[in-house]
C-alpha cells in the first residue's frame, strides 16, 4: 500500500513538473490504482453501521492498524487525484469534480484525526507514522484555507472545511519534530509556506529564523537533498543575500539529473535573483531556457523574456535582438491556456501588455521592474539599500525621459497612455522609496498615482495597488486606523482590474493582522 502511494507521489510530481499529457495520464492511472489498493484494505461498513454513525459514537477500536493506515493513504491519494483533475481537463466540470474530491479528502482527514485520538494503539511505531500523516494533512488544509479571503472562508465553512492558522502551524511543527514517515513532508510544507506562500500572497515575511533552524538540521541529514538545497537558496534570496542565493540555487540545480524539469524551478529563481542584481544578460539566459524547455506557462515565460530584453538599452541590443523582442511579443497570446475552465490572471496581464507594446510602437516602460513588483519581489529590495537604490535610479531615469516621449509628435500613442505610464513609474518609485525608508516621499508618489485614476486608460490595477502600498506605509508608522481605511477602500471601491485576486489575498492578510481576525476560533479538524 505504501509502495503504491510512494509510486503515485513520484508520478504526480513528474506530471506537475512537466505538464506533458503522457505524464499527466500516467499519474492519473497510478493514483487510480493506488486508490484501488487502499480501498481493498479500508474498513468495510455495512449499510446499518453507516446509518448508525449518525446517531451513536463510533468505536474506533474496531479499526485494525492496516485499516487505519489505508484510510490515511486513501485521503492522500484522493488529494493528489483532485489536484490532477484541475489540469487533466480544462472545463468547469473538472473544477467542480476536483472541489468535491478535495471536500471528501478533508472529511477523510478529519476521520483519521478521530481514529488517532480515540483508538487504543498497540504499536507505538504504527501510531507515530499515522500521526505524522494526520498532522501533515490537517495542518496543510488549515494553514492554506486560513489564507483565503473571508467571504470564501465562510462559503468553505458552510460545506464542511475549517481554516485555523494556529492549529495548522502547530500540527505541522509537531509533525516536523516527530520521527514519522511524513516528517520530511511536514518540514517541506513549513518551508514552502514561510519562504514562498507568505511572500507571494501577503505583505508579511515568513519566519526566516525558524526556516534557518529547520534547514541546518535537514541539510546535515540530507546534504545533497535537492529540495532542501533549493529552500536554502530561497532563504538567502528572501534575506537579500543574492550572491549566496545564486550559489545554493546552482547547487540544487546540479545535484540531480533524474528530473531535468526540476531545474526549471531553479532557473525561475535564478532569473529573478539576476533581475534584482540588474544583471539583465544573465537573467536572459535563464529566461531563454524556460521559454525553450518548460511547458508550465509559455505565455508568461515568453513575456518575461521579452520584458528582460526591453530593459537593455537600445545601443546594447543587436538588430536581430530588436526583431526578437517583437517576435516574442507577438507569440505571447498564442500560448494562453485555461486551467479548470479559467484563464490564468498573470497570462491575461501579459497579453494586455503585449497589446500596449505594439500600440506604443514597440515600447514599454520598465516591464521587468513591473513584473518584479507584481510578483511581490520589491520587499527584498528593502534588505539592502543598494538593491533598492539601483531599481530607484532606473525608474527615476525613465521618469525624466517620460516628458520627452509624451510630447513626441512622432508617436501620438504615448499621449493616449500618458497617465498609465506615469502612474506605473510613480507607483514603482513610491514602492522603492518605501523600501528605502523614505515614507514622506513615497506617500507623495503614491498619492499622485491615485490622483491619476480618472485619466488612466487601461492599467486600472495601478490605483488599488498604490492604495495598498500607502496602507503598508501607515502600518510601518503604526497608524492602524488609517491603514484599515485604506485597505477597505482598495477592497470595496475597486474591481475588475488586472491581478485583482492576488491583491485581495494581500489585503485579507493585512486586515486579519490589523483587526485580529485570524479565523483562529474556527474549530479545527477534530469533531
**Grid cell listed for 384:** 539592502
In terms of Cα–Cα distance, which of 440, 445, 405 is closest to 429?
445
Taking the domains of the chain in order of start, what are their residue ranges?
1-45+59-159, 373-518
Residue 404 class from Cβ within 10 Å (0-12 exposed, 13-18 middle, 19+ buried)? exposed
Question: 3-state SS of 395-464?
Answer: HHHHHHHHHHHHCCCCCCHHHHCHHHHHHHHHHHHHHHHHHCCCHHHHHHHHHHHHHCHHHCCCCCCHHH
**DSSP annotation of 197:** I
Report the half-sphere exposure of 526 (CA within 13 A, side-chain side).
Answer: 9
**pTM for the complete prediction?**
0.87
Cβ neighbours of 241 (radius 10 Å): 18
Tell me how far CA of residue 266 lies from CA of 32, 231, 246, 410, in angstroms.
Answer: 31, 10, 9, 43
Whether the CB-CB separation of 7 and 77 falls below 8 Å is answered with no
Q: Does domain 373-518 have CATH number 1.25.40.10?
A: yes
**Grid cell listed for 9:** 507521489
Cβ neighbours of 106 (radius 10 Å): 24
Tens digits of pLDDT across the chain (527 residues): 888 988 888 888 888 777 677 888 888 899 999 999 988 988 887 655 555 555 567 888 888 899 899 999 998 888 888 777 766 655 556 656 666 777 888 888 889 999 999 889 888 999 999 999 999 988 888 888 777 766 666 766 666 666 778 888 999 999 999 998 999 999 999 999 999 988 888 888 899 999 999 999 999 999 999 999 999 999 999 999 999 999 999 999 999 888 888 899 999 999 999 999 999 999 999 999 999 998 888 999 999 999 999 999 988 888 899 999 999 999 999 988 876 566 788 999 999 999 999 999 899 999 999 999 999 999 999 999 999 999 999 999 999 988 777 676 666 666 789 999 999 999 999 999 999 999 999 999 999 999 999 999 999 999 999 999 999 999 999 999 999 999 999 999 999 999 998 898 899 889 888 887 543 433 333 33
In this prediction, residue 144 carries a pLDDT of 81
Residue holding cell 540555487?
249
In this prediction, residue 200 carries a pLDDT of 86
3-state secondary structure of 339: strand
Rounded to whole angstroms, the Cα distance separating 197 from 202 reads: 8
User: Which residues touch 18 (CB under 8 Å, ≥6 apart)?
Assistant: 261, 295
Phi and psi torsions of 64, nearest 5°: -80, 165
Rounded to whole angstroms, the Cα distance separating 198 from 91 reads: 30
In this prediction, residue 85 carries a pLDDT of 73
Q: Any idea of the CA torsion for 446, 369, 238, 447, to the nearest 10 degrees?
A: 0
User: Which residues touch 417 (CB under 8 Å, ≥6 apart)?
Assistant: 356, 359, 360, 457, 458
In this prediction, residue 56 carries a pLDDT of 62
In this prediction, residue 521 carries a pLDDT of 39
Host H or E run for residue 342: strand 342-343
Cβ neighbours of 308 (radius 10 Å): 25
CA–centroid distance for 463 within its chain = 23
Region class of 366: left (phi > 0), else alpha (psi between -120 and 50), else beta: left
Cross-strand partners of 342: 339
3-state secondary structure of 52: helix
Q: Any idea of the CA torsion for 476, 479, 484, 489, to the nearest 10 degrees?
A: -90
**Grid cell listed for 177:** 519534530
In this prediction, residue 183 carries a pLDDT of 92
In terms of Cα–Cα distance, which of 36, 100, 47 is closest to 74?
36
Q: Any idea of the CA torsion for 358, 363, 364, 367, to the nearest 10 degrees?
A: 100
Rounded to whole angstroms, the Cα distance separating 166 from 185 reads: 19
In terms of Cα–Cα distance, which of 218, 198, 222, 219 is closest to 208?
198
Amino acid at each position: 500500500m505504501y509502495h503504491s502511494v510512494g509510486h503515485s507521489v513520484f508520478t504526480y510530481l513528474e506530471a506537475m513538473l512537466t505538464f506533458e499529457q503522457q505524464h499527466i495520464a500516467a499519474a492519473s492511472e497510478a493514483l487510480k490504482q493506488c486508490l484501488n489498493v487502499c480501498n481493498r484494505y479500508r474498513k468495510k461498513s455495512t449499510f446499518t453501521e453507516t446509518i448508525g454513525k449518525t446517531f451513536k459514537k463510533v468505536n474506533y477500536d474496531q479499526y485494525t492498524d492496516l485499516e487505519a493506515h489505508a484510510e490515511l493513504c486513501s485521503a492522500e491519494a484522493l488529494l493528489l487525484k483532485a489536484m490532477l483533475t484541475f489540469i487533466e481537463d480544462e472545463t468547469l466540470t473538472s473544477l467542480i469534480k476536483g472541489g468535491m474530491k478535495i471536500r471528501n479528502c478533508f472529511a477523510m482527514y478529519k476521520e483519521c484525526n478521530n481514529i488517532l485520538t480515540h483508538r487504543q494503539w498497540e504499536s507505538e511505531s504504527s501510531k507515530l507514522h499515522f500521526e505524522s500523516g494526520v498532522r501533515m494533512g490537517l495542518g496543510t488544509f488549515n494553514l492554506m484555507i486560513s489564507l483565503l479571503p473571508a467571504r470564501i472562508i465562510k462559503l468553505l465553512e458552510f460545506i464542511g472545511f475549517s481554516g485555523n492558522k494556529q492549529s495548522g502551524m502547530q500540527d505541522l511543527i509537531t509533525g516536523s519534530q516527530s520521527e514519522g514517515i511524513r516528517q520530511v513532508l511536514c518540514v517541506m510544507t513549513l518551508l514552502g509556506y514561510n519562504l514562498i506562500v507568505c511572500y507571494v500572497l501577503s505583505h508579511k515575511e515568513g519566519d526566516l529564523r525558524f526556516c534557518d533552524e529547520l534547514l541546518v538540521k535537514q541539510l546535515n541529514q540530507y546534504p545533497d537533498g535537492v529540495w532542501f538545497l533549493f529552500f536554502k537558496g530561497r532563504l538567502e534570496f528572501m534575506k537579500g543575500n543574492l550572491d549566496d542565493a545564486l550559489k545554493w540555487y546552482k547547487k540544487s540545480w546540479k545535484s540531480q539529473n533524474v528530473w531535468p524539469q526540476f531545474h526549471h524551478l531553479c532557473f525561475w529563481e535564478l532569473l529573478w535573483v539576476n533581475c534584482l542584481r540588474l544583471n539583465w544578460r544573465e537573467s536572459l539566459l535563464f529566461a531563454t531556457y524556460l521559454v525553450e524547455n518548460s511547458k508550465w506557462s509559455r505565455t508568461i515565460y515568453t513575456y518575461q523574456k521579452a520584458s528582460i530584453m526591453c530593459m537593455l538599452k537600445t545601443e546594447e541590443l543587436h538588430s536581430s535582438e530588436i526583431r526578437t523582442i517583437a517576435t516574442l511579443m507577438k507569440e505571447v497570446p498564442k500560448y494562453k491556456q485555461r486551467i479548470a475552465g479559467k484563464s490564468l490572471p498573470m497570462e491575461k496581464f501579459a497579453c494586455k501588455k503585449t497589446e500596449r507594446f505594439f500600440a506604443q510602437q514597440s515600447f514599454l516602460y520598465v516591464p521587468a521592474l513591473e513584473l518584479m513588483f507584481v510578483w511581490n519581489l520589491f520587499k527584498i529590495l528593502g534588505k539592502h539599500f543598494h538593491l533598492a537604490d539601483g531599481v530607484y535610479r532606473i525608474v527615476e531615469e525613465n521618469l525624466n525621459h517620460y516628458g520627452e516621449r509624451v510630447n513626441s509628435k512622432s508617436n501620438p500613442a504615448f499621449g493616449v497612455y500618458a497617465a498609465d505610464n506615469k502612474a506605473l513609474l510613480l507607483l514603482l518609485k513610491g514602492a522603492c522609496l518605501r523600501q528605502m525608508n523614505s515614507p514622506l516621499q513615497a506617500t507623495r508618489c503614491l498619492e499622485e498615482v491615485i490622483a491619476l485614476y480618472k485619466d488612466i486608460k487601461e492599467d486600472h490595477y495601478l490605483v488599488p495597488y498604490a492604495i495598498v502600498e500607502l496602507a503598508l506605509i501607515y502600518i510601518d508608522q503604526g497608524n492602524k486606523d488609517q491603514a484599515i481605511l485604506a485597505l477597505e477602500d482598495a477592497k470595496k471601491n475597486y474591481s475588475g482590474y488586472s491581478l485583482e485576486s492576488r491583491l485581495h489575498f494581500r489585503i485579507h492578510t493585512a486586515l486579519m493582522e490589523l483587526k485580529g481576525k485570524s479565523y483562529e476560533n474556527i474549530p479545527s479538524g477534530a469533531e
